[in-house]
Structure 1
């Protein structure tokens, strides 16, 4: 029987999905279907099941009728199609009939119903030919579509403007076609479409093409700009208004003062900004820079950063950057000139301030700092004050690192009640729940990381906090955790000797000691324990505890491994305190105490923007760093402090953290594979240049504004710069292996530092930059490329990401086509197994899991010699085993790293393996690795639960 002769599936009006929650055959009434004639009908679910059933009958004949197997298959396929459509529809809640049929076809192929899928494809092709022939016979009729305006009136659809906007969005971009976008857009329109849906339609049309040509990411962003312009101009002007990008060349200057007034009147913008010379400021805006956004970056700003009232944005991109710049320049003498200087740096993407600064600069609550570190005291008042402080700090976008080591352990004596302590874990549960409750006004989840030192008697329970089994009252599923590991423990692991656990109420000085002083005190307490002079203690095999640390890191992604001694020995501020923990993302290493909450203000240099034909553009980099350091220093004085201990600490020490992003992009532009000595050398030289200029800029600020209060006695005051402090670490731990070479004139800088002083106690830290790198359209931080084609998930949704440089290279060699797109999807964004790609490109574009993480550690060690704080260093391991993890983290310790961050295990995510046009990639959590025995990792429990790349639920990645 011919399938094409008898197969007549229902192809109109698909899906009436549910009024009953959870029923896969019913959808919310808001979902609609656009038929081919442009009419819209409710999304009717039963008809997909009918169509699928007819497909099976067409192929299998009467044997399929009444078959339980066919019935179950149809039900499952229908559910898959519905889920895919609802997930992909996003804001529009609208499907085109062709999209539905694409998903039916895809579901059949995935379900390996190959004969049925073939019949379905053939039927669609036949109907397409019939419709094309019929269309040729008909005379083209003028469009009768209407748009429903916001005031409820119906207006004829302005097809000319729609075409103009799409043409303008494609202008100046190679390999993009306005006709393709317009055609796809028109296919999805219907009579009575709302203005918002009309604005969304071309954006969605452009999005589907990004996987074929990366430049469509710019097209989609420019189309989103049109939607944003209408929203913002209407809000500011007070009446319906819209403009093209070319209109904005003159409109921006007049819009900007109105924007400031609107924000001030709404209570969102500091009234002081209205007292700037707004005519001068508005004239400095550069509208053409709106065109530099890619879709992911602009959509992220639209969803989370731009100011809005009642859900309507009134802030355009260049106004956003200028608002931030004005907020950072508000106390400058010539504040207009400084604001314009700061704006130029931000809007060019040469440098980007951190998320809290972008959220809050220029507003009525300018909490601009990124990271806060606290030490929790050992009594109820101190513990709950620490939790309250967490809430107050998180409210305005601060990320938190808590040092919990002083809190006495399980079984310790409580003098006031003559009872026994329940240990630190129950209080960590409260801190976890507080982080969830305080979600920064819905902008992002509260985020906190708890640190505990390895000698604490509760350390083993601490390791289990993120497990999904056991007593849930002793689990913290939403809080990050990190081990604060002393060198002595690592030495005991190497010797396979014993390790003693103590309760800090009986060993209080261990918390503040490091290096040889810690070793002496620790061994003295071991002797006291052996004599029975301590109430709470326990001896374990150091290697067994190390194995459990690595096992939990692999199974749950936590606790991270961070090293106490290098953080303190190389700290410039050891003369006035102790570093007791790092922060939420392991790059900040500042002192904390009961009187001081450490604060750090972050921003990152876009390394890609500082390359020219000769490599690193040192003069441009020097300018960027000089201006950036001034911006970061200004944060200290402008900042809105929610607790007094943070204000005291920040004004006294003035630490800032200048970092970098776009490292992988820079390597690829320079044609340097990440796994190479040349890449390690570039990491060294680029960080040396940033370090030299950051320290020099801080000296210049000290000459202008004065030294920070606690400068005297610091390593800086003794002429010991970060690169010089390596020798202090080598004296304390001779086994450390760090390169000490340099190329710049450091001796002259040392003399300037000692003579003039420093404005900032700390100057550098490399943060993850996951969100601000999206804004700038570059690779995040120092990360290797995760995949060359994947779908990135964050709080703004799912976004197709393609390595544009790879596409450029493949085009140059005649290799970029639909087959290549399909291959990239099949191999999860890796080109290593695609035979027709040359070996030089395979090396250059190797993805994170194809690299030996030893290269990441070596590059990080070279950077660490120049940095006075630390770096967020993710490690990747494709086929984990106990032996590999052991070697990796011991190597990190030997190479002098201060901290490590997430362990990423393969395969946390995959690209949807679809070759249908119009289908997007999708991340699916399908980890499937198991570990081997050397470190006794439980192979039944180890499912690779390390944080998925860009997990939207993982705030540390945002």
Structure 2
């Protein structure tokens, strides 16, 4: 099972254990006289297993639908216990055990009554003072609602008068009473208060800050036995950090070199008030996944965590304490956040800090299994993996040593898939791998089918990502409606290492040789037909992703040192690799909204955006980038390398990947939408500023520490910067690339610095997805548009609804944020486009991801791309099911010179649970049971009508509501067949 947690009725979560379902089924049969003694061990076992198998199928369907519904990069939420019980009822009836099913239904009904009565009694006991509460010291005192409200009021005052006035602490105390269990402690009361506040975030984002504050309080009491705001709290906080470091070293969690720091001095530099920078999801994410866990409990404060990471990244610095404080300042202020592996492991005994590893597989049995072993070792330490499989010969190729025909690359990919599943990265997330194959490979058509849910399971890889590595020549053949030839690499071995005009020349020579009968294994196909099949599989399964070989190589700074054979798990890394070198990249991201500054309105008028006047603080960015580049470069020397090939590559080339997050927030703060030309200009200018400073910082670091080993002969050495390489790509293709050249900055100082000092890093920039660290920062991921204005997030404490705080802020300023707007927003699943009470200017600006033209979003990525020496994780958001649109999107990506694209996300149906809406007004918009039509009937709402007399939102027929997903996630939906010659949309 991929689901790892179950959500209980009180909202809290526990570990998911399928054996408990089997145990419950066994008891259900025994209760009806169908136990082991009555029916025999075998019959009883068969009944339990048959029912369990049906439940397992339903859970897998639930998992698939959830993965399709949640946004890019998110993790599976906990499965509600009620959902499991519904599945059990359905499974019992499906298996024909109707009497047992009836008993089970009656059992659930009577236990529900008992729970309600028990809950009512507990609430009465609590309000009358009869309920006992266990304190942290072990004493038992009477529950006092007055004391609870006094505590809640005390905490809300820390937010300041204006925000405190918007917090209804009495309402939160009522919600806490309703969630009380059979036993309660002061620690549980604090966490119940957190959950209650988080449940109100959808009504007002001020509860986001309040929930974070309450969680900080609960965490502080748990670790420090001190109240936030009490006298001596800061002292306790700093003393706690000293204990954290000493204990971590003593228990062999932390690197013993941390003791070389003046820990007392480091503790004095900690700023406990910086905890207030974190919003609720950021606080909870750090607590759940990042803070060091000892005996299953977090053992670090938030600021202690940031300082420990800073110290871990400064271990090799001559002035390590000074640099650690510089690093701490950057991270604790959320201006820059390193990638997850760095946060997981900095300062630990095995500091595997790198994000991703890229390897290539030889056409050799021993090397194939060596790479799989390497994958396991790299996954163990939290690395994401990209494997290039193009060298492995195709199906039917002759194997001279054994005198048999090869089974091709597909069976090995199945094994690689299973290796991925077997490894849990750092015990905190599942292993993850992406397999790449070039488009001329003989097995490419089977490769396209790897993620299909039909066909031979032995030739499917349900848990591994896949990506096409497409040469320009193939795209030219598609445009010209020409033929394409598939080869086995054992007969065309040099194609793997060629690109651009060299590839085209050699490929055509091989085609001529095949026509003369000089090549044994080849196949001619229509290029456009293969392209349509690629898009069809992408549309259907979300894979393989579309990535481009030639731009990745022609624009690579390291074109003298090897070939870029593939990208990584998230398609933003484009580094050389070989049998001897596994490419490694070390990532971190600048929080763009933290680098905007207020400016005065010299006109004295309104800016007509509802947002503050802000602009890019280029001086602050320069400081952030300089320190961030140094931190990322330090990762290379401190890093624990699971394989020698990874160590050799990273030490020789020293690549890093500085990216951004919060681009959407930065636009909102400037009053801009993605449709504004000013927004496109901001994407261009902000990336230019970051690029200028990143390259300069790496060059200055080279002046201090020396250039990377393979610098000589690189594009840097030849005076070619990333923006210069776009013209080289255009010349190689012989096709115009429609991306404006030039910029706003004077690049001569950078060119002179690189010429004089060289570069410390072969590569400096890459924009990663940042799904989790964006949660920590409290912003939208990387370069993504707002996925939804209203959406559900899940964590260990349960699920809660989040609303776009920028939208709410503007609506509040217009006195438009009220119950009616909230309910309309929930009914519209976050979209404001049909809510006419909201001004048109706001509706235009607050477009969601699926309401923005996907080609427009590509233009933003193309503008940034000219400044970046690697690539960007660009998710494609497409509304509808037009094959023609899909074709336009990916051809546009190629024509703009993009190196890679990432997930294709397509709009399915409703995401937000509407159980709180008035059915008399909005119609019955609840989830429909399995088997209902996913598409629904536009002209037939479920019941009733919307306030605007629009049909009720369509809901997917899989037992729960869906959002963005690969098309197959919407079961029963009619989707466009890209291979259908009669399909009008495809012509």
Question: Could you say which TM-score interval applies, normalised by the shorter chain?
Answer: 0.7 to 0.9
TM-score, with structure 1 as normaliser: 0.82
Aligned residue for 1:724, secondary structure, equals helix
Distance, in Å, in 1 between the alignment partners of 2:77 and 2:580 is: 52
Aligned residue for 2:202, secondary structure, equals coil
The answer for the alignment partner of 2:784 in structure 1 is 783
Report which stretch shifted further, 445-454 or 728-737. 728-737
Residue 513, structure 1, aligned to residue 504, structure 2: no
Count how many residue pairs are aligned between Structure 1 and Structure 2: 821
> What's the CA shift string for 1:713-754, capped at 9, x where partnerless?
000011100001111101101322221121101122112111
Distance, in Å, in 2 between the alignment partners of 1:355 and 1:719 is: 34
Distance, in Å, in 1 between the alignment partners of 2:970 and 2:307 is: 43
Query: Given the alignment, which residue of 166, 169, 181 partners 2:155?
Result: 169
Decide whether aligned partners of structure 1 residues 875 and 191 sit closer, same or farther in structure 2, where only a CA change above 3 A counts. closer
Query: Conserved in 2, the CA contact under 8 Å of 1:260 and 1:269?
Result: yes
Distance, in Å, in 1 between the alignment partners of 2:902 and 2:311 is: 34
Report which stretch shifted further, 218-227 or 188-197. 188-197
Deviation at 1:24, TM superposition (A): 14
The gaps in structure 2 that reach 5 residues or longer are 1-16, 29-61, 67-75, 83-115, 600-614, 919-924, 928-959, 964-968
- Alignment of structure 1 residues 683-698 onto 2, 5 Å: 683-698=683-698
Query: Conserved in 1, the CA contact under 8 Å of 2:536 and 2:977?
Result: no
The answer for the alignment partner of 2:810 in structure 1 is 809
The answer for the alignment partner of 1:447 in structure 2 is 432
- Alignment of structure 1 residues 621-770 onto 2, 5 Å: 621-735=621-735, 736-770=737-771
The answer for the alignment partner of 2:824 in structure 1 is 823
Aligned residue for 1:723, secondary structure, equals helix
> What's the CA shift string for 1:41-86, capped at 9, x where partnerless?
xxxxxxxxxxxxxxxxxxxxxxxxxxxxxxxxxxxxxxx9xxx9xx
Query: Conserved in 2, the CA contact under 8 Å of 1:350 and 1:606?
Result: yes
Deviation at 1:817, TM superposition (A): 1.1
Distance, in Å, in 2 between the alignment partners of 1:638 and 1:737 is: 42
User: Superposition RMSD on alpha carbons, in Å?
Assistant: 3.1
Distance, in Å, in 2 between the alignment partners of 1:474 and 1:404 is: 15
Distance, in Å, in 1 between the alignment partners of 2:489 and 2:796 is: 40
Distance, in Å, in 2 between the alignment partners of 1:420 and 1:295 is: 58
> What's the CA shift string for 1:366-400, capped at 9, x where partnerless?
00000100001111100000000001011111000
The answer for the alignment partner of 2:980 in structure 1 is 936
Report which stretch shifted further, 219-228 or 698-707. 219-228
Report which stretch shifted further, 302-311 or 713-722. 302-311
The answer for the alignment partner of 2:884 in structure 1 is 883
Residue 262, structure 1, aligned to residue 305, structure 2: no
Query: Conserved in 1, the CA contact under 8 Å of 2:226 and 2:236?
Result: no
Decide whether aligned partners of structure 1 residues 662 and 258 sit closer, same or farther in structure 2, where only a CA change above 3 A counts. same
Deviation at 1:198, TM superposition (A): 2.3
Query: Conserved in 2, the CA contact under 8 Å of 1:886 and 1:935?
Result: no
Aligned residue for 1:871, secondary structure, equals coil
- Alignment of structure 1 residues 571-586 onto 2, 5 Å: 571-586=556-571
Distance, in Å, in 2 between the alignment partners of 1:938 and 1:638 is: 59
> What's the CA shift string for 1:611-631, capped at 9, x where partnerless?
112410001111110110000
> What's the CA shift string for 1:565-599, capped at 9, x where partnerless?
00000000000100000000000000000000000
Distance, in Å, in 2 between the alignment partners of 1:139 and 1:409 is: 73
Aligned residue for 1:212, secondary structure, equals coil
The answer for the alignment partner of 1:213 in structure 2 is 204
The answer for the alignment partner of 2:33 in structure 1 is none
Deviation at 1:607, TM superposition (A): 0.4
Decide whether aligned partners of structure 1 residues 162 and 820 sit closer, same or farther in structure 2, where only a CA change above 3 A counts. same
Aligned residue for 2:417, secondary structure, equals helix
Decide whether aligned partners of structure 1 residues 485 and 528 sit closer, same or farther in structure 2, where only a CA change above 3 A counts. same
Distance, in Å, in 2 between the alignment partners of 1:323 and 1:938 is: 62
The answer for the alignment partner of 2:412 in structure 1 is 427
Distance, in Å, in 1 between the alignment partners of 2:185 and 2:245 is: 29
Decide whether aligned partners of structure 1 residues 934 and 387 sit closer, same or farther in structure 2, where only a CA change above 3 A counts. closer
Aligned residue for 2:659, secondary structure, equals strand
- Alignment of structure 1 residues 349-360 onto 2, 5 Å: 349-360=334-345
Aligned residue for 2:885, secondary structure, equals helix
Decide whether aligned partners of structure 1 residues 739 and 151 sit closer, same or farther in structure 2, where only a CA change above 3 A counts. same
Distance, in Å, in 1 between the alignment partners of 2:507 and 2:125 is: 91
Query: Conserved in 2, the CA contact under 8 Å of 1:372 and 1:597?
Result: yes
Distance, in Å, in 1 between the alignment partners of 2:144 and 2:126 is: 18
The answer for the alignment partner of 1:180 in structure 2 is 171
The answer for the alignment partner of 2:93 in structure 1 is none
Higher relative contact order (CA 8 A, sep 6+): 2
Query: Conserved in 2, the CA contact under 8 Å of 1:502 and 1:538?
Result: yes
Distance, in Å, in 1 between the alignment partners of 2:27 and 2:383 is: 38
Query: Conserved in 2, the CA contact under 8 Å of 1:882 and 1:931?
Result: no
Aligned residue for 1:716, secondary structure, equals coil
The answer for the alignment partner of 1:840 in structure 2 is 841
- Alignment of structure 1 residues 855-870 onto 2, 5 Å: 855-870=856-871
> What's the CA shift string for 1:784-833, capped at 9, x where partnerless?
00110000347885342211010011111121111111111111111011
Deviation at 1:21, TM superposition (A): 7.0
Deviation at 1:150, TM superposition (A): 7.2
Decide whether aligned partners of structure 1 residues 230 and 93 sit closer, same or farther in structure 2, where only a CA change above 3 A counts. farther
> What's the CA shift string for 1:500-536, capped at 9, x where partnerless?
0000011000000000100011001111111111111
The answer for the alignment partner of 1:619 in structure 2 is 619
Query: Conserved in 2, the CA contact under 8 Å of 1:145 and 1:191?
Result: no
Decide whether aligned partners of structure 1 residues 374 and 24 sit closer, same or farther in structure 2, where only a CA change above 3 A counts. closer
The answer for the alignment partner of 1:927 in structure 2 is 970
The answer for the alignment partner of 2:215 in structure 1 is 224
The answer for the alignment partner of 1:325 in structure 2 is 310
Distance, in Å, in 2 between the alignment partners of 1:908 and 1:273 is: 51
Deviation at 1:216, TM superposition (A): 0.9
Query: Conserved in 2, the CA contact under 8 Å of 1:492 and 1:499?
Result: yes
Distance, in Å, in 1 between the alignment partners of 2:644 and 2:151 is: 51
Residue 146, structure 1, aligned to residue 132, structure 2: yes
TM-score, with structure 2 as normaliser: 0.79
Decide whether aligned partners of structure 1 residues 20 and 714 sit closer, same or farther in structure 2, where only a CA change above 3 A counts. closer
> What's the CA shift string for 1:765-800, capped at 9, x where partnerless?
000000000001000000000110000347885342
Distance, in Å, in 2 between the alignment partners of 1:760 and 1:89 is: 39
Decide whether aligned partners of structure 1 residues 22 and 633 sit closer, same or farther in structure 2, where only a CA change above 3 A counts. closer
Distance, in Å, in 1 between the alignment partners of 2:203 and 2:740 is: 43
The answer for the alignment partner of 2:228 in structure 1 is 244
Query: Conserved in 1, the CA contact under 8 Å of 2:665 and 2:779?
Result: yes
Distance, in Å, in 1 between the alignment partners of 2:831 and 2:710 is: 50
Query: Conserved in 2, the CA contact under 8 Å of 1:410 and 1:421?
Result: yes
Deviation at 1:288, TM superposition (A): 0.7
Deviation at 1:639, TM superposition (A): 0.1
Distance, in Å, in 1 between the alignment partners of 2:219 and 2:961 is: 28
Distance, in Å, in 1 between the alignment partners of 2:535 and 2:494 is: 28
The answer for the alignment partner of 2:604 in structure 1 is none
Query: Conserved in 1, the CA contact under 8 Å of 2:688 and 2:743?
Result: yes
Report which stretch shifted further, 762-771 or 296-305. 296-305
Report which stretch shifted further, 300-309 or 701-710. 300-309
Residue 301, structure 1, aligned to residue 286, structure 2: yes
> What's the CA shift string for 1:656-680, capped at 9, x where partnerless?
0000000001001101111222211
> What's the CA shift string for 1:466-492, capped at 9, x where partnerless?
000000010000100000000000000
Report which stretch shifted further, 557-566 or 798-807. 798-807
Residue 193, structure 1, aligned to residue 184, structure 2: yes
Aligned residue for 2:429, secondary structure, equals coil
Distance, in Å, in 1 between the alignment partners of 2:261 and 2:229 is: 26
Query: Conserved in 1, the CA contact under 8 Å of 2:126 and 2:177?
Result: no
Decide whether aligned partners of structure 1 residues 874 and 28 sit closer, same or farther in structure 2, where only a CA change above 3 A counts. farther
Deviation at 1:860, TM superposition (A): 0.5
Decide whether aligned partners of structure 1 residues 139 and 369 sit closer, same or farther in structure 2, where only a CA change above 3 A counts. closer
Decide whether aligned partners of structure 1 residues 797 and 470 sit closer, same or farther in structure 2, where only a CA change above 3 A counts. farther
Query: Conserved in 2, the CA contact under 8 Å of 1:329 and 1:335?
Result: yes
Decide whether aligned partners of structure 1 residues 172 and 361 sit closer, same or farther in structure 2, where only a CA change above 3 A counts. same
Query: Given the alignment, which residue of 340, 347, 356 partners 1:371?
Result: 356
Residue 408, structure 1, aligned to residue 397, structure 2: no
Aligned residue for 1:648, secondary structure, equals helix
Deviation at 1:933, TM superposition (A): 5.5
